[in-house]
Structure 1
Amino acid sequence: MAEENDNQQPESSPKGNIIPINIEDEMRGAYIDYSMSVIISRALPDVRDGFKPVHRRVLYGMSELGVYHNRPYKKSARIVGEVLGKYHPHGDSSVYDTMVRMAQEWSLRYPLVDGQGNFGSVDGDSPAAMRYTEARLKRIAEEMLADINKDTVDYQSNFDDSLKEPSVLPARIPNLLLNGTSGIAVGMATNMAPHNLSEVVAGIKAYIDNEQIEIEELMQYVKAPDFPTGGIIYGYSGVKSAFETGRGRIVMRSATNFETTKTGRERIIVNEIPYMVNKASMIEKTAALINEKKIEGISDIRDESDRHGLRIVYELKRDAVPNVVLNNLFKYTQLQSSFSINNVALVKGRPMTLNLKDMISHYVSHRIEVITRRTEYELKEAEKRAHILEGLLIALDHLDEVIALIRASKDPDEAKAGLMERFELSEIQAKAILDMRLQRLTGLERDKIISEYEEIKKLIERLKEILASEEIKKDLIKQDLDDINTKYGDERRSQIEMAGGDFNIEDMIPDDEMLVTVSHQGYIKRTPLVEYRTQNRGGVGSRGVKTKDEDYTEHLFTATNHNYLLFFTEKGRLYWLRVFELPEGTKTSKGRAIQNLINIESDDNIRAVLNVNNLSEEDYINNNYIVMCTKQGTVKKTLLEAYSRPRVNGIIAITINDGDQLLDVSLTNGNNYIIIGASGGKAVRFHESDVRAMGRGAAGVRGIRLEDGDEAIGMVCASREDAQLMVVSENGYGKRSDIEQYRITSRGAKGVKALNITEKTGKLVSIKEVTDEDDLMIITVRGIAIRMSISDLRIMGRATQGVKLIRLNDKDGIASVTRIVKEEEDIEDSESQENDDETPKSED
């Protein structure tokens, strides 16, 4: 009995109301509900207007307050209170922070809020409290709300069902693409980049014209993201990936330039920084890296930014190489940063990853729906007005009878019923007649009613045409976009720099032939060959290069814009550049310091430059060789393949022994004859096969045996059957001789006489391989240039003294000699050529 009583539960026990469930199922269901709430109602934007709920509520709340762009500002606290109390029941900071960001020019490409007061800074400074600042809508933000009162979008109840708020905005501007967004939901995130309005408009119009357009074609219009802080988009592969897949990583660099102070010191100037980078924090971290010796060469950092623009100055030490320092800044600081694009947005309430075409197509679909609903609303209103006007016209046609009927009625209801019965009017028409003022009975007012009715009928026909035609709706979208572009379109701020392998930029650059000059003090430039005119032998020459005091042209050669230049230094290092990457100048300009283009060491100098057509074709780089010669007569041969992988900081091309330096470099096919000249007037000729191919870091073998006091002055790899050897002495004498006159010897021999050296001629300074089709360009130490046709020089014996090539002034000498292959337009009839100076006959 006791056991039975123990099992009985008291009547007040709640056991009958408890439903046992699995806690895992409950937590799973609750978490999914929470995550969906975050995804839909907080963190992700709607693909149609590009807004999260809080942004939409702020703009809608401001429009309901009437703070338009042409109205006075209102306190931010007043706006925040309006939005909090009516639509967004969360913390006031969430609303205020959202409004502040929409007012910051460095946060949004096209700001939507016009703020007055302290709204923060690019240095990360906090905005003033909402009680101190004021705000109103920007004019462009009002385009987001245009036609919202014409039943264009659906409304939903607010948090307490007391009011209605729009579930999406009409979005006359494609805000999602223009301003982008970022947000972290549960299990997913979004990070969308801003774009240029003019480009986006062009892309949307192209899509409307051809909905089958490919993304690659759209990218001709929408070229890349366009960030509010400008900067440089470095590399295009990330942009291409983002446009095609919705995901991509964009590398951004600061916009920089070099300046030279009055004292001759270099400085790096930063005018634009990557998007979302805190300027003050970046400078502080850079200073810390300098103190830790991770970045060297910087003596001072100054922030000279003001209301006119951003300017950060990096003062460099005297021995610092600007290009090297800048690359280290890119490597270790936020002067270079990345922006990871992840285009996730809500499409019909579901999160989706979108490519460029997806975002455009969803926006166009939304605008078609908005225009359809707006047209239906306007048609409904027009038909209502037409209906009323028809009633008024009936009344005016029977005016006396209407007045008599009204006067005979005891009250308005009886009059309304009488009108409806007598003239077969609707209740709305009868009421309008009763509400009509007596002044409408005049003849002029009657004409106005008739005119209005005719206009309304035309409007109704037009609205019905719009509803019946998708093409007309699309034309209206394009008209809206053109209007938006006219009002708010601007130039792109972020530059696009195609990085290695991303884009064949040479396709956009004509492959013109250039004359490249490198001065003794390291200034380089490229000049179109057409700037130089052909002169007769013995001419005084024209001024070819304007150099600094005590500077002169040391290297001179021809190349086309698309070629690769391999720079070999006297220490045996190799650097790469494309010809079109060189600064272009006139024949009298100085050029730019080569240290600003390549990361050459401050105590090193360019000794030879090789012009190579291609570094990616396997057959080419594995069947061609680079042959090098040093001043001590050492020669080395290595496959071009060993030098086909460019590196920013260069590589070792040849190991240079103490007291030696690299002299000359040639590209060969493995079957040429090598000729090495010495300053004493001798030259050795041997077959290339006498030099075995070596590794990149090898020192080489002996090429010529030099006499005391002599040094090697040049190397020729004879490749053309009809070629001769051109030799030039330091006092301006030279001649050309058949290469066959130089007998073949073994590698390492003393060689044979190349020029009869006398006090009059001076030592040998240059040897070149030439033909009748070539020109010769000679530059003196003082920068005087003369270009002459090789065909004007007769072929002479190997051991002769030669002829006078250029008339030299006192203390002048030959600095550089190069062979130029003539183009058709360069070949002129010497008889009809006009010279600036009379030139004497050259002596034989």
Structure 2
Amino acid sequence: MDIIERSFQETLGEKYLSYALSTIMSRSLPDVRDGLKPVHRRLLFAMRELKLNPDSGYKKCARVVGDVIGKFHPHGDVAVYDALVRLAQDFSLRYPLIEGQGNFGNIDGDNAAAMRYTEARLTDIAMFLFEGLDENSVDFKGTYDGESNEPKVLPAGFPNLLANGASGIAVGMATNIPPHNIIEICNALLAVLDTPNIELAEILTHIKGPDFPTGGQLYVDHKTLTEIYGEGKGTVRIRSTYTVEQLERGKYHIIITEIPYSVPKSRLLEKFGQLMEAKKLPLINDIRDESSEDIRIIIEPKSSSIDASLIMEFLYKNTELEARFSVNLNILDSNLRPVVMGLKEILNSYLTHRFQVLDRRTRYRLKKIEDRLNLLSGFLIAYLNLDEVIRIIREEDEPKPMLMSRFDLNDIQAEAILNMRLRSLRKLEEMELRKEFDALSAEKAEKENLIVTPTLQTKTIKNEIQSLRKYFEKDPRGLRRSDIHHDIADVQINLIDFIEKEPITVVCSDKGWIRTIKGHTTDSADFKYKEGDQEGYVLQAETTDKLIIFTSFGKSYTLPCDKLPGGRGFGEPLRLMIEVEAKEEIIALFLYPKDETQQFIVAASDGRGFRLETSQLLSQTKNGKQLLNVSDAVVALKCIPITGDSIAVFGENRKMIVFAINEIPIMNRGRGVMFQKYLQGGMSDFKIFNMADGLTWKSGNGTRKETNLDRWNVKRGQSGRLAPNGFPRSNKFD
């Protein structure tokens, strides 16, 4: 035995590359010519071999799957049957290629019945894909066991790739091609034939955009559509279609009649149920499903005064009534190489294939005509010399060579004359042969002319496409199902309208455990804490309020009060709801002000800070929003609302400074400006007050006030003077 030494890395790389190429070419990506993956092509071909035509009877799917895996596709029966089922589902394929009988699943997401119970046959559309298959129009290859042959690609008289789309995941690449309207595709193909150098913008006047089998409202602007079909990638939005059904006394129901493509109705209804149970839909009284063969989901609002569009906008943003379809036109070209194509390339590739099919079919027919004319020439010679032919056949021991030499016949002609039946030796038969000879001679001239004349080839292809378009113009399947909207109006909705307003008390412990108690309460018996923990913050709020958390790292976090944990326990750690670091401490927790003109002051331990607008406090993510920039040695001290015209700043050096609030600039983010100058240490505390009312601070069990602040009232940024008599040793105002 020969032993070949190779590195493991080299061998692994080679084997993985083989696997990757096999997955790309033989499983996951469709062919640009017929729009089929190998499993689909083999399924359809096996059904054709079983003569499961549209006008024939059905056969069990188990029989079809057995033939496919036994003759053409050596893979699991479950995968093959799943592929067969999808080809038969009118909610998965825009133009199904298989007609199923039995349970083939539904839009709810239910699976099909087992293959032993279901039956199938080909649809009329599938038959378009086979036109010319027996006329040498495409190449065949041997099956995996070498016992028979299968087509490498189908002639594809139907533009299946764009009409039905495709999806798949290969190694390192994927494809996701949306379905389109067949009449629009035909119009685009005709336009490309008329103008080979046609611009994409002109093509898009024919192909408006995707056309999904489940309908829906397609939202995509012209610019995005041009990018998708130009570059082969992009995203479109699909929204459910709804109508408003008016009832008695001004009431109404919203009726969902179409849902986005590939969204199971059961999953959609499950999401509705979750929102209702969580009381996240306070404006909706009930949602129920009355669907039969058609989608009919009824949404009953609580009040007829609520605008239906407001309810739908909320549902679009929070459920799969709106979905996004990511387009990725990754396809195998005619050389079986994976390529991301634009729409124009796809149309040209399909037309190139159709021209090749036409050329091969024409040459095949021409060969058949020539063979038949050869026979007819021999027959006509026999009729012209009938007596001599009969004599040779009766008298000669070897009549065939004699006929060939006597009348200059070839072997095929002589053999045909010898096999001619006696009843054919009639004058009428001779006339029929001459008529057939003349007709075939004329057809031969036409075919020879077609092969060498590109304009005639183009005309023939156009006639085929026009016939296909005419076929679907008389068929309901030719109507567009998805409405396209190019002007996208992003309606702004206030989510607070969809939260049931209830009074709550927000309780946060010193160690950051937070929960809510129903109602407004001040009863300390309701405020339970873990052992070793104590009260931190108690706020009376509404479920529609927002909670602002400000930390020592100068970051602001936002939590909706309706999403805070309730119940009788100790609550949940804030750190599970927001992304805070281990050393980050909460220094302020308050409700977002209803008056958005309210301003705040933030300051750090180094004596720097600034004013900020209320809206800057809001954060959209769990990671929070950095407002006050601090370093390792500097931390944020306070974030408080401005409730006066002056500010008193107290340093660790026991010096105080007082100045007007308007000396502090308004900023969105940064270190801010210096409030007080320090040679050593930093800021201990600051307080906002009205100069006319004087400055107060806690002293023992009471408070003290200083009204004569002239000696401390200076410009911002100075060092200040020593504290007033009686100021706390803690260096804090409160």
Question: TM-score per shorter chain, which class?
Answer: 0.5 to 0.7
The offset of 1:264, in angstroms, is 3.1
How far is the alpha carbon of 1:187 from its aligned partner?
0.2
2:142 partner amino acid: S
Paired AA for residue 344 in structure 1? N
Which of 406, 423, 433 does residue 393 from structure 2 map onto?
Answer: 406
Matched, 1:452 2:439: no
User: Paired residue for 1:273, among 259, 265, 268?
Assistant: 259
In 1, distance between residues paired with 2:392 and 2:368? 30
Question: Is it true that 1:20 corresponds to 2:5 in the alignment?
Answer: yes
What one-letter code is carried by the residue in structure 2 that aligns with 1:232?
Q
AA paired with 1:180? G
The CA deviation string for residues 471-511 of structure 1, in whole angstroms up to 9 with x for no partner, is 11111111111111122341111001123489xxxxxxxxx
Report if aligned partners of 2:33, 2:353 keep a CA contact under 8 Å in 1: yes
In the other structure, the counterpart of 2:346 is 359
Change (3 A) 1:308 1:33: closer
Given that 1:124 and 1:280 are in contact with CA atoms closer than 8 Å, whether structure 2 keeps it comes out as yes
Task: From 192, 205, 208, give the equivalent of 1:223.
Answer: 208
Compared with structure 1, are the counterparts of its residues 498 and 296 closer, same or farther at alpha carbon in structure 2 (3 Å cutoff)? farther
Cα deviations across residues 520-568 of structure 1 (Å, max 9, x unaligned)?
A: xxxxxxxxxxxxxxxxxxxxxxxxxxxxxxxxxxxxxxxxxxxxxxxxx
From the superposition, tell whether residues 91 and 228 of structure 1 become closer, same or farther in structure 2 (CA, over 3 Å): same
Sort the Cα spacing of 1:316 and 1:464 in 2 relative to 1 into closer, same or farther, 3 A: farther
2:307 is the counterpart of 1:321: yes
Higher deviation after alignment, 415-424 or 167-176? 415-424
In structure 1, the partner of 2:164 is 179
Paired residue for 1:582?
Answer: none
Q: Secondary structure at the match of 1:149?
A: helix
CA contact (8 A) 2:32 2:349 kept: yes
- Give the aligned partner of residue 365 of structure 2: 378
Q: Distance in 2 between matches of 1:332 and 1:382?
A: 66
- After superposition, residues 591-602 of structure 1 pair within 5 angstroms as none
| Number of residue pairs the alignment of both structures matches | 491
CA distance in 1, matches of 2:399, 2:297: 79
SS across alignment from 2:446: helix
Contact residue 271 and residue 312 of structure 1 kept, 8 A: no
**What is the correspondence of 1:643-654 to structure 2 with a 5 Å cutoff?**
none
Query: Secondary structure of 2:88's match?
Result: coil
**For the residues of structure 1 that align with 2:299 and 2:74, how far apart are their CA atoms?**
46
Offset at residue 290 of structure 1 (A): 2.3
**Aligned with 2:135: secondary structure?**
coil
Q: Is the 8 A contact 1:420 1:426 kept in 2?
A: yes
Matching residue within 229, 232, 245 for 1:243: 229
In 2, the alpha carbon distance for the partners of 1:321 and 1:288 equals 23
| Partner AA of 1:164 in structure 2 | N
Q: What amino acid is aligned across from residue 495 of structure 1 in structure 2?
A: D
Cα deviation code 1:75-132 (max 9, x no counterpart): 1111111111110111111111111111111000001101111110000111111111
* Deviating more after overlay: 238-247 vs 400-409: 238-247
Cα 1:62–1:316 change in 2 (3 A) is: farther
CA deviations 1:372-412 (Å, max 9, x no partner) are 000000000000000000000000000000000000133xx
One-letter code aligned to 2:231? T
- Give 3-state SS (helix, strand or coil) of 1:271's partner: strand
Task: Pick closer, same or farther for the CA change 1:404–1:601 going to 2, 3 Å.
Answer: closer
- Cα deviation, 1:333-380, whole Å, max 9, x if unaligned, reads 000000000001111110000111000000000000000000000000
Within 5 Å, give how 1:520-539 maps onto structure 2. none
2 CA distance for matches of 1:481 and 1:165? Answer: 26
Match of 1:124 among 109, 116, 120: 109
- Cα RMSD, aligned residues only: 1.9
- Aligned residue for 2:52, secondary structure, equals coil
- Following the alignment from structure 2 to structure 1, what is the Cα–Cα distance between the partners of residues 446 and 412? 25
CA distance in 2 between counterparts of 1:145 and 1:374 reads 12
Gaps in structure 2 of 5+ consecutive residues: 498-734
Cα distance between partner residues in 1 of 2:31 and 2:330: 9
Q: Which residue of 2 aligns with 1:614?
A: none
Residue 177 of structure 1 contacts residue 200 of structure 1 at CA under 8 Å; is this kept in 2?
A: yes
Q: What residue is the counterpart of 2:667 in the other structure? A: none
CA distance in 2, matches of 1:334, 1:295: 15
Q: Is contact 1:375-1:467 (8 Å) kept?
A: yes
Q: How many Å apart are 1:318 and its aligned residue?
A: 5.0
Cα deviation 1:692-733 (Å, max 9, x = unaligned): xxxxxxxxxxxxxxxxxxxxxxxxxxxxxxxxxxxxxxxxxx
8 A contact 1:323–1:599 mirrored in 2: no
> Please, which of 25, 28, 31 is the counterpart of residue 16 of structure 2?
31
State the Cα distance separating 1:263 from its structure 2 match: 4.3
Instruction: Please give the residue correspondences for 1:563-578 in structure 2 after superposition, counting only pairs within 5 Å.
Output: none
Q: Quick check: 1:321–1:602 contact (8 Å CA) kept in 2?
A: no
TM-aligned CA deviation for residue 202 of structure 1 = 0.2
* Secondary structure of 2:93 counterpart: coil
Change in CA separation of 1:226 and 1:274 when aligned onto 2, cut-off 3 Å = same
Of the structure 1 ranges 21-30 and 191-200, higher mean CA displacement relative to structure 2 is found in 21-30
Quick check: 1:61 aligned with 2:46?
yes
1-side partners of 2:316 and 2:495: how far apart?
A: 19
Which residues of 2 match residues 467-506 of structure 1 at below 5 A? 467-489=451-473, 490-500=478-488
Aligned partner of 2:151 among 148, 161, 166: 166
Give the whole-Å Cα distance in 2 for the aligned partners of 1:368 and 1:290.
58
TM-score scaled by structure 1? 0.57
The corresponding residue for 2:286 is 300
Gaps of 5+ in 1: 1-15, 503-596, 604-844
Q: Structure 1 residues 362, 314: closer, same or farther in 2, change over 3 A? A: farther
Partner of 1:259: 245
SS at match of 1:17: coil
Q: Is the contact between residue 255 and residue 296 of structure 2 (CA under 8 Å) also seen in structure 1?
A: no
CA–CA distance in structure 2, aligned partners of residues 387 and 314 of structure 1: 79
Counterpart residue type for residue 328 of structure 1? F
Moved more, 213-222 or 281-290: 281-290
Q: Distance in 2 between matches of 1:29 and 1:56?
A: 28
Supply the distance in 1 between the matched residues of 2:159 and 2:99 (Cα, whole angstroms). Answer: 19
* SS of residue in 2 equivalent to 1:481: helix
CA distance in 2, matches of 1:101, 1:293: 37
Quickly say closer, same or farther: Cα 1:23–1:312, change in 2 above 3 A: farther
> Contact conserved, 1:320 with 1:602, CA < 8 A, in 2?
no
- Most deviating of 71-80 and 479-488: 479-488
Deviation per CA, 1:211-250: give whole Å up to 9, x if none: 1001111000011010000001112243322111110100
User: Is 1:113 aligned to 2:98, yes or no?
Assistant: yes
Query: How far off its partner does 1:297 sit?
Result: 1.2
C-alpha contact 2:26 2:37 (8 A) present in aligned 1: yes
Hey, what does 1:84 align to over in structure 2? 69
Distance 1:280 1:30, change over 3 A: same
Kindly indicate whether residue 405 of structure 2 is the aligned counterpart of residue 418 of structure 1: no
Q: Which one-letter code corresponds to 2:99 in the other structure? A: D
How far 1:312 moved relative to its partner? 4.2
Code of the aligned partner of 1:252: I
Measured in 2, the distance between the counterparts of 1:264 and 1:40 equals 60
TM-score, normalization by structure 2: 0.65
Secondary structure in 2 matching 1:274: coil
Call closer, same or farther: CA 1:168–1:601 in 2, change over 3 Å.
closer
1:97 aligned to which of 70, 79, 82: 82
Change (3 A) 1:372 1:501: farther
Q: Residue type matched to 1:199 in 2?
A: E
Q: Distance in 2 between matches of 1:371 and 1:28?
A: 42
Shift of 1:307: 2.5
| Contact 2:236–2:327 under 8 Å retained in 1 | yes
Identity among equivalent positions (%) equals: 42
Q: Structure 2 residue aligned with 1:209, among 174, 181, 194?
A: 194
C-alpha distance 254-451 of structure 1, shift in aligned 2 (>3 A)? same
Which residue matches 2:326? 340
Match of 2:135 in 1: 150
Q: Any conservation in 2 of the 1:112–1:137 contact (CA below 8 Å)?
A: yes
CA distance in 1, matches of 2:445, 2:117: 53
Task: Report the CA distance shift for 1:54/1:486 in structure 2 as closer, same or farther (over 3 A).
Answer: same
Deviations 1:581-611 (A, max 9, x none): xxxxxxxxxxxxxxxx9969999xxxxxxxx
Report the equivalent of 2:413: 429
C-alpha distance in 2 between matches for 1:381 and 1:315: 71
